[in-house]
Amino acid sequence: MTLQLLSTFTGIVFLMAIIPGPNVLLVLATALSRNRLMALSNVMGVALGFIGHALISALGLSLLIAKSSAAFAVLQWAGIVYLLWLGFSNIKSGLNLHSVAVSVNDKVNNNPANGLVSNFFKGFLTNCLNPKIVLFYLSIFPQFVNPETALSDSLLLGAIHATVVSSWFIVIILLSQVCKRFLTNLKNARRLNFLSGSIFFAFSAMLAIDRV
């Protein structure tokens, strides 16, 4: 696996991490309503979810590669199309965006008292049941996997994904009040959507060029 592919993958997963979604809102709400330790428990659950996604994807890709190399190629091109869709949907969301402050406040107000284990599984399930993450591992993930080393590549990429997201979430936990003001500000959230959408378009073009 080349350094360029690893850098591209890292950039994509970081973009997906910083855009406000279920995982981000869960960790931010827990940090605001409980404490940093409980929020870190969320993060550990989310990180394990990425490893689970990667393992399932590796097993599925290995089976697909064994059955049909052509089907694997089609899946790779589907990932490029999905990146285009992510870019379009983020820009569209930026045009129609409403503040996510309500979502954060609802989670803060409705967050019951629970322990480390409960928060760990809450993070794990929020990640595993996130449709965007599932689609990512079904479509974009195969772009970066070498058919000859599908399992090892998948686990490496899953570990990178978990590390990148966990690092960003730790920043959110440490600066929870600042992050809340930034992420729930309509103008900032809109700019973030426009920027991420444009970069997703660029990543899609880069991967398409590599496939040609």
| pLDDT the model gives residue 162 | 94
Ordered per-residue pLDDT tens for the chain, 212 residues = 778 888 889 988 998 888 777 787 778 778 877 778 888 999 999 999 999 888 888 777 656 665 666 766 776 677 778 778 877 876 776 666 565 555 556 666 555 556 788 889 888 988 887 777 877 887 778 788 887 787 888 889 999 999 999 999 999 888 877 777 776 677 777 777 787 778 778 777 877 776 66
User: What is the residue type of 190?
Assistant: R
Nearest to residue 4, comparing CAs of 143, 200, 132, 168? 143
Q: At what angle do helices 36-67 and 116-128 cross, to 10 degrees?
A: 40
Q: How many CB atoms lie within 10 A of CB 67?
A: 10
Residues 6+ apart with CB under 8 A from 111: 29, 30, 33, 34
pLDDT at residue 72 in the model: 66
Number of Cβ within a 10 Å radius of residue 210: 14
Tell me the residue type at 53: H
Contact 193, 94 (CB under 8 A): yes
Is residue 160 within 8 Å of residue 7, measured between CB atoms? no
**Predicted pLDDT of residue 168:** 92
Tokens of 6: 């690893």
Residue that has been written with the tokens 């929870």 in this structure: 176
Contact 162, 34 (CB under 8 A): no
Closest CA to 101 of 16, 3, 28: 28
Neighbours of 173 (CB within 10 A): 22
User: Alpha-carbon distance 107 to 111, whole Å?
Assistant: 6
Cα 97 to Cα 61: distance, rounded to the nearest angstrom: 36
- CA 86 vs. chain centroid, Å, equals 12
Per-residue confidence (pLDDT) for residue 64, from 0 to 100: 65
- For residue 69, the model assigns a pLDDT of 67
- 16 by Cβ neighbours in 10 Å (0-12 / 13-18 / 19+) ranks as buried
